C-alpha cells in the first residue's frame, strides 16, 4: 500500500543524479573476490563454526533484544540473519529500564558450539552471571538457562573423550571442567598469564592435530591476536602472535575472533576491527599454518580485498536487510529494542502497514524511554560519505508532552522529532539532551531523515588515508518527501564505552507528562547518503 510508484522513481532519480548507483554494503565483489570488512556494521566479538556446509556466526548485542544475533552463510562472505537467540532478558528489572539500565553491560562475547546434534551458546553478563542457550537447530527455538557460575569471555570446548571445558578470564586465563549440567567439577586452573601486555581475553579453544589451541586477543584499538598450543589442555602452553597489524587504515588493530576450517581444508579466521562510532566490524582473513601456528593474513598484514574461500561451490550475493515497509506480521531480524520492550505498547496489526508505538513510560529523556526500536548503521564500500535513514510518521494521536521521532543513539545522542506542547505540534532537534532548534509545524504527517556522515572515517575505511574513528550525523525534515531541510546542528558521533555498541538509528515515542498517546511509522528506508549533502 505504501510502495508508491512515484516515490520509487524519485528515489531512483536521486541516486542516479548523485552518481552512487554502484554503492553497496555487501562485501562480495562478484568476481570471485571480497572486500573487508565482511560486514560493514557493528557485529563485534565474532565466534564462527561450520556445521556441514553452513557457517554460523554469533555476535555481541549487549542490552538490545531480541538479541544474541546469529547469522548464517554458505561461503563466509555472504551472510544472512538466522535467529536472535534471546528474545528478551528477564533476569533483572534493569533490562526493563525500571529505575536502572544495562547500557555498556548485558550479553558479552558469546561462545558458539555444536555437539552431538545440539547448538550451544555460552555467555556472561557482568551483573547477572553466566548463561547457556541451547537449540536443536540454529533457527531456534532457543532455551536459556542461568548457570551457577559465570565465565568471563568464555571459550566452550567439548573434548573427544566426552569431557567439557571452558577457558575464561581477563589477562589471566583459566581452564575449568564442567559436568553435563555445565556446573564446574574442578577448580579454575590458571593456564596462561598474558606476558606481552595486559588485556589478554576473548579465548576460543580448539583441538587440531593433537594439540589444544587457545586463540586469544590482546584487545584494544591496537589489538593483536595470539595463539597458544599444548599437548595437554592444562598446559604448559607456548605462545605465538599470529597477527599484529598496526598499519594505518582499515585493518588497524584487527583482533578477537574464531578459527574456521572449510569443507575443502582451507583455514580462515573471523576477527573484528574497531571503526569508531559505527562500531566494530567483522573481518575475514586467510590463515596459513606455519610451524604449527595459524598465521593470519598475508606477509604479516591483514588483507583488504582477497579471493573468496573455497567452499566447493559458488553462492549468490546477499545483503542484510535494513529498510522496512512494516507490511509484515513481525519485525525483521535487523531490528532490536533498546532493553526489553513493553510488548503491549507496540503493534504491527493495530493499523496494518504501520508500526504503532504507544508511549510506554513517563520519562525525561530518550535514554530512559522504553520501546525505542533500533538497528545498526551500515557503511558502504565506495566513496559515499553518508548512510541515510528516512521515515514517515503520522503524529496526529500524540498527547501533550509526547516526543516521537528518529534518533542516532550512543553517548552522546541526537534526534529530530515532533513534540506536542499545549495542543500544538513542534518539530525539534535535540543534541545530547538539549533542544537546539524548534519550529511550529502544521498537519499530522512528516518525513524525518538522519544522515550519518563518515567524514574522514569513510576515507579511513576504504583507502586508508585518513584518521579512524570520526563521524557526524545531521538531521533533516520534509513535508512532502521531496525537499528536505536541515534542522538543528551536527552530532559529533562517539563510541563511548558507557554504551559499548556502535551508533544506531532509532525510532521512538515517549511521554514526559502522561501515557495514552501513540504515533504510526509508515516506513523506514535506508540509502547511501548524497555526497553533496554530506559536504554541506
Residues constituting the chain: 536
Asked about 201 being catalytic, the answer comes back as yes
Catalytic residue among 42, 45, 394, 522: 45
d(CA 37, CA 293): 24
Whether 140 and 153 have beta carbons less than 8 Å apart is answered as no
Backbone angles phi, psi at 324, to 5 degrees: -150, 125
d(CA 343, CA 175): 41
Asked about 177 being catalytic, the answer comes back as no
Whether 226 and 217 have beta carbons less than 8 Å apart is answered as yes
Distances (CA, A) of 307 to 29, 203, 284: 10, 28, 11
Run of H or E including 135: strand 129-135
Residue 200 CA to chain centroid, in angstroms? Answer: 23
3-state SS of 399-467? Answer: CCCCEEEEEEECCCCEEEEEEEECCEEEEEEEECCEEEEEEECCCCEEEEEEEEECCHHHHHHHHCCCC
Catalytic residue among 28, 128, 153, 201: 201
d(CA 44, CA 58): 9
Q: Of all residues in the chain, what percent are helix, strand and coil, respectively (each to 5)?
A: 5, 45, 50
d(CA 508, CA 371): 7
First to last CA, the chain: 35
Residues assigned a catalytic role: 45, 201
Amino acid at each position: 500500500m505504501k510502495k508508491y510508484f512515484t516515490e520509487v522513481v524519485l528515489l531512483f532519480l536521486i541516486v542516479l543524479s548523485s552518481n552512487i548507483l554502484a554503492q553497496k554494503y555487501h562485501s562480495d565483489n562478484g568476481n570471485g573476490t571480497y572486500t573487508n570488512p565482511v560486514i560493514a556494521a557493528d557485529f563485534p566479538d565474532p565466534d564462527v563454526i561450520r556445521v556441514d556446509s553452513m557457517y554460523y556466526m554469533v555476535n555481541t548485542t549487549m542490552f538490545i533484544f531480541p538479541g544474541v544475533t546469529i547469522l548464517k552463510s554458505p561461503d563466509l562472505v555472504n551472510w544472512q540473519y538466522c535467529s536472535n537467540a534471546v528474545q528478551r532478558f528477564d533476569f533483572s528489572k534493569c533490562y526493563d529500564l525500571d529505575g536502572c539500565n544495562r547500557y555498556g553491560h548485558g550479553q558479552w562475547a558469546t561462545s558458539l558450539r555444536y555437539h552431538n546434534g545440539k547448538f550451544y551458546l555460552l555467555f556472561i553478563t557482568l551483573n547477572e552471571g553466566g548463561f547457556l542457550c541451547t537449540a536443536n537447530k540454529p533457527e531456534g527455538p532457543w532455551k536459556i538457562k542461568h548457570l551457577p557460575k559465570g565465565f568471563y569471555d568464555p571459550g566452550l570446548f567439548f573434548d573427544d573423550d566426552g569431557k567439557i571445558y571452558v577457558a575464561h578470564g581477563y589477562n589471566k586465563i583459566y581452564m575449568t571442567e564442567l559436568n553435563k549440567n555445565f556446573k564446574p567439577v574442578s577448580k579454575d586452573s590458571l593456564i596462561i598469564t598474558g606476558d606481552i601486555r595486559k588485556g589478554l581475553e576473548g579465548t576460543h579453544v580448539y583441538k587440531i592435530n593433537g594439540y589444544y589451541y587457545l586463540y586469544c586477543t590482546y584487545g584494544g584499538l591496537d589489538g593483536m591476536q595470539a595463539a597458544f598450543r599444548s599437548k595437554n589442555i592444562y598446559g604448559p602452553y607456548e605462545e605465538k602472535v599470529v597477527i599484529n597489524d598496526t598499519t594505518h587504515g582499515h585493518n588497524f588493530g584487527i583482533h578477537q575472533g574464531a578459527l574456521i576450517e572449510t569443507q575443502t581444508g582451507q583455514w580462515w579466521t573471523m576477527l573484528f576491527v574497531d571503526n569508531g562510532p559505527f562500531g566494530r566490524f567483522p573481518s575475514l582473513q586467510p590463515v596459513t599454518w606455519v610451524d604449527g601456528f595459524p598465521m593470519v593474513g598475508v606477509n604479516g598484514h591483514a588483507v583488504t580485498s582477497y579471493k573468496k574461500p573455497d567452499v566447493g561451490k559458488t553462492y549468490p550475493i546477499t545483503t542484510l536487510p535494513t529498510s522496512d515497509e512494516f507490511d509484515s506480521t513481525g519485525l525483521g531480524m535487523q531490528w532490536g529494542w533498546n532493553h526489553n520492550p513493553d510488548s503491549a505498547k507496540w503493534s504491527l496489526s493495530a493499523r496494518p502497514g504501520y508500526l504503532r508505538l504507544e508511549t510506554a513510560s513517563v520519562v525525561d529523556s530518550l535514554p530512559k524511554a522504553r520501546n525505542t526500536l533500533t538497528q545498526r548503521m551500515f557503511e558502504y564500500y565506495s566513496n559515499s560519505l553518508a548512510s541515510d535513514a528516512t521515515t514517515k510518521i503520522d503524529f496526529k494521536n500524540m498527547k501533550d508532552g509526547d516526543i516521537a521521532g528518529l534518533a542516532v543513539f550512543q553517548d552522546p545522542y541526537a534526534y529530530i522529532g515532533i513534540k506536542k506542547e499545549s495542543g500544538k505540534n513542534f518539530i525539534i532537534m535535540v543534541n545530547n539532551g538539549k533542544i537546539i532548534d524548534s519550529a511550529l509545524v502544521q498537519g499530522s504527517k512528516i518525513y524525518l531523515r538522519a544522515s550519518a556522515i563518515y567524514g574522514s572515517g569513510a576515507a579511513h575505511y576504504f583507502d586508508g588515508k585518513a584518521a579512524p574513528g570520526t563521524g557526524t550525523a545531521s538531521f533533516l525534515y520534509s513535508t512532502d518527501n521531496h525537499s528536505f531541510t536541515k534542522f538543528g546542528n551536527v552530532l559529533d558521533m562517539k563510541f563511548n564505552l558507557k554504551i559499548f555498541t556502535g551508533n544506531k538509528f532509532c525510532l521512538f515515542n515517549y511521554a514526559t507528562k502522561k501515557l495514552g498517546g501513540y504515533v504510526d511509522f509508515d516506513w523506514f528506508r535506508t540509502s547511501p547518503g548524497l555526497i553533496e549533502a554530506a559536504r554541506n
